[in-house]
Structure 1
Amino acid sequence: MRGVLIIGSLVLLSGFFVAFNATKNPISVYEVDIPVGFPELEFPEGNALTQTRVELGRMLFYDPILSVDSTVSCASCHNQTLAFADNKVISPGVEGRLGMRNAPTLANVGYNPTLLFDGFLKTLEMQVLVPIQEHAEFNSNIVDIAEKLKKDSLYVRMSVEAYERLPDPYVITRAISSFERTLISGNSKYDQQVYQKNNVMNRSEKRGMNLFFNELNCVECHSGFNFTDFSVQNNGLYEVYADSGRQRATKIEADRAIFKVPTLRNIALTAPYMHDGSIATLEEVIMHYESGGKSHLNKSEKIKPFQLSKRERKDLIRFLECLTDYEFITNPAFSNPFE
């Protein structure tokens, strides 16, 4: 390991040094393009977006150095072409280990008031620690990761430029969070129709939109600009759940088998569905809700049976496909910087 010495505004490592001075090197602010209909992003104190913070976070997001054996990165489970979700029921971690939950999309994750299917963690900075330490994910230690990063001159330089400190847990969690806050998706066919006032949706898609918003009132849970009310609910998926849901974190029986309502943006790309990836297609998801779900003590009162014709079901699926943002899944600003 290289020797490290900090003297005033100089960070010295054997073979090179990095100087920083906030007054002489003005911060390059990262401009976020907020889509029409979206609220402004909020940032935690001390972690406003800058170019270097976002780029450092992007590198860390794609770098398998975060896992104990350098085989798995954040991007291993959150693929850009799949709207930063995965197409596997459960994404494998180090040594092929499997956890219990399906990888959710990171689209618009910076707007989430709570994180994980538990809806329990309050900040992205806290969430970053979860996969790092999970045995079935990275099985690593953030302090050990920081030591590895200190041996890389580029990571050292960027850490100092971004946060005026060497790579450490503070830098790692905040940089990755900064990159994730830029993952904004708001240019789907639906957005073009509703917010940009372009008549791009066909008759089937419009009929499906009417079903979604009016006849079926799906917006009781999937409301707002991000198609979620961010609440936690039981949707009657099982009578007995292998995963205790939010109750795992709170230990409260009323939270058993309660999971966060997911965003429906890019939903056509994020199969399989549900917290455990147990439903393969959108049609099967709709049929689950048509059935009214299974009995469970904590099942939401909003889950009630209904009936659709074959055409109506097709129309609803066509509308959900209108929530796909193709610009988002091809944006080079979000892609792997190592390729």
Structure 2
Amino acid sequence: MKIWLVIVVCVTALASCKKENEVKCEPALDAPFNLILPSHFPPIEFPEDNELTEKRVELGRRLFYDTRLSADNSISCGSCHQQASAFSDNLSISEGIEGRVGFRNSPTLGNVAYQERLFGEGGVPNLEIQILAPIGDENEFDHDVVIIEAELQADPILNNLSLIAYDRDIDIYSITRAIACFERTMITGGSPYDKHVLGEESLTEDALAGMELFYSEELACGTCHSGHNFTDGGFHNIGLYEIYEDAGRFRITSDEEDKGKFKTPSLRNIEETYPYMHNGSIQTLEEVIDHFSTGGLGHINQSELVVPLELTTLEKSQLLAFLTSLTDLEFLMNPELTPLN
């Protein structure tokens, strides 16, 4: 989407955040949401004006799967972010209303609560603002927030939830914040790798060998794919192309050195979030490993960490075994994240 859209999105959201709209939750009707984090995860910093509550999460859950957010009532957030695919959609480029082709591959929403900058170029600062982008994008929902508000205010279930959760009729303020609340409950940390870290079970020999390779000084995969969520949150050019049609981080900074740089994706559930890269141009994990083994195509801004590795067939299979150990089946089937009737 265009930079001007991001700017409009930010201005629109900020305009709605006036003091007279401060949240006033009724304790008797709403209660804090008990979000259970894996013991090896750090705490989440929630916005002061949008702490998790039961009704906010329920409202967001209903809205996340509500097709009325799109102009022709055909798609929802859940169309491009499907739970079985770790809240991605397995298309190279996601499709909007009327089959319109979008701009990029849909990223996973697993552990999105920990992300500070959203979209591949990092142009949106938080989840509350993010939802406005697909609503207004002509290749996604292509809808008008005024029309959305009027239609949803006529829905007694949603409007009542908004009154309880945000002390106001449902509007773009409560819509964006409720969806953000629900998305922050998408915590994934129950993979075989996590159980190994916690001492609950052991990884296979191949996965252990792959983990050693992953964190080795020679491969240095863990430099960018670091921390509990396997991302440094930074922006890197991995030499995917000699000339990038999508300029990535440059779209925000206008710095020539940022051309072709994209935010490091999380590797959690990577087995289920194919195809890969910002444009879905690589179909399999085996091909991703091959790309890094050959050292990229040598773009002028290519990261110095992307160098020829000349991995053996065995090493590639071991890396693959480690990456697939990051799949959290409980997350993919968590009933608390499915659509509500």
TM-score relative to the length of structure 1 = 0.91
Shift of 1:198: 2.2
Pick the structure with greater CA Rg.
Answer: 1
1:208 correspondence with 2:210:
yes
What one-letter code is carried by the residue in structure 1 that aligns with 2:207?
A: E
Deviations 1:131-189 (A, max 9, x none): 11111110112222111111111111000011000111110110000000000000100
CA contact (8 A) 1:233 1:300 kept: yes
Q: RMSD over aligned Cα, in angstroms?
A: 1.4
Residues 206 and 321 in structure 2, CA contact (< 8 A), matched pair in contact too: yes
**Alignment of 1:57 onto 2:60:** yes
SS at match of 2:215: helix
Superposition deviation, residue 24 in structure 1? 6.3
Aligned residue for 2:187? 184
Amino acid of the structure 1 residue aligned with 2:213: L
The code of the aligned residue for 1:231 comes to G
- Tell me the residue number matched to 1:106: 109
2:339 corresponds in structure 1 to 336
The residue matched to 1:140 in structure 2 has which SS?
Answer: coil
- Deviates most, 218-227 or 26-35: 26-35
Deviation sequence 1:300-325 (CA, Å, 0-9, x none):
11111101111110111010000000
Give the aligned residue type for 1:98: V
Match of 1:298 in 2: 301
Matches within 5 A, 1:159-198: 159-194=162-197, 196-198=198-200
Shifted more, 310-319 versus 242-251: the winner is 242-251
C-alpha change, 1:156 and 1:302, in structure 2 (3 Å) is same
Between 289-298 and 277-286, report the one with greater CA deviation.
289-298
Alignment TM-score, normalising by the size of structure 2? 0.91
Asked if 1:313 is matched to 2:313, the reply is no
Give the match's secondary structure for 1:38. coil
Matching residue's letter, 1:199: E
Compared CA separation, residues 24 and 285, structure 1 to 2 (3 A) = closer
- Contact 1:268–1:320 (CA<8 Å) still a contact in 2? yes
Do residues 223 (structure 1) and 194 (structure 2) align?
A: no
Alignment of 1:57-206 (within 5 A): 57-194=60-197, 196-206=198-208
Opposite residue 321 of structure 1, the aligned amino acid is T
Offset of residue 22 of structure 1: 4.7
Moved more, 176-185 or 200-209: 200-209
Separation (CA, whole Å) in 2 of partners of 1:332 and 1:23: 27
Alignment correspondent of 1:13: none
- Report how far residue 328 of structure 1 moved: 0.3
Question: Could you tell me the percent identity over the aligned residues?
Answer: 48
Letter in 2 for 1:176: I
Find the partner of 2:273 among 251, 255, 270.
270
Residues 304 and 46 (structure 1), Cα distance of their counterparts in 2 relative to 1, 3 Å cut: same
Relative to structure 1, the CA distance from residue 303 to residue 21 in structure 2 (aligned partners, 3 Å threshold; closer, same or farther) is closer
In 1, are the aligned partners of 2:294 and 2:308 still within 8 Å (CA)?
yes
Task: Confirm or deny: 8 A CA contact 2:131 2:176 kept in the other structure.
Answer: yes
CA distance in 1, matches of 2:272, 2:145: 31
Greater helix share, 1 or 2? 2
Amino acid at match of 1:222: H
2:33/2:52 contact within 8 Å kept: yes
Q: Is the 8 A contact 1:100 1:243 kept in 2?
A: no
* Counterpart AA for 1:58: R
Give the counterpart letter for 1:291 in structure 2.
Answer: T
Unaligned residue ranges in structure 2 (runs of 5+): 1-22
CA contact (8 A) 1:291 1:306 kept: yes
Show structure 1 runs of 4+ deviating over 6 A: none
Q: Distance in 1 between matches of 2:117 and 2:245?
A: 23
